[in-house]
Amino acid sequence: MPASTLPRNSTNVRNSKKRHLPPENTTRVIAVAIAFFGTFALLGWNAGVFAKLDTGEQALLAGFAVGFAVLTYLVDGQVRRAVDSTALALRGWFNARERRSPPRVT
């Protein structure tokens, strides 16, 4: 039976439709997350929340934040690519800036 004469039951129709997922912008998501959580961290610092925590609690909070960031980088390939490409772009920008700056006189 040729492919064109196959019955078009619901299974074939469902399998033939391609899913179109919206494009992801991982860099923008990371930037928004940093801005969002950074804003609340600054508001908490300004309100004296961190001053109420003892040293151990502050270390635990910092450890959680660092651990979460590192594990997200290791587990999520899109985050890893976005971070690596941003780091590469920043490295190139700094290298170009160094080449343009005049030599320092000592």
Tens-place pLDDT, residues 19-78: 777 788 888 999 999 999 999 999 999 999 999 999 999 999 999 999 999 999 999 999
Distance (Å, rounded) from C-alpha 26 to C-alpha 78?
Answer: 7
What is the pLDDT at residue 24?
80
pTM (2 decimals)? 0.62
| Ramachandran assignment for 48, one of left (phi > 0), alpha (psi -120 to 50 degrees), beta (any other) | left
Torsion of CA 92, 94, 97, 103, to 10 degrees: -120
What is the pLDDT at residue 17?
61
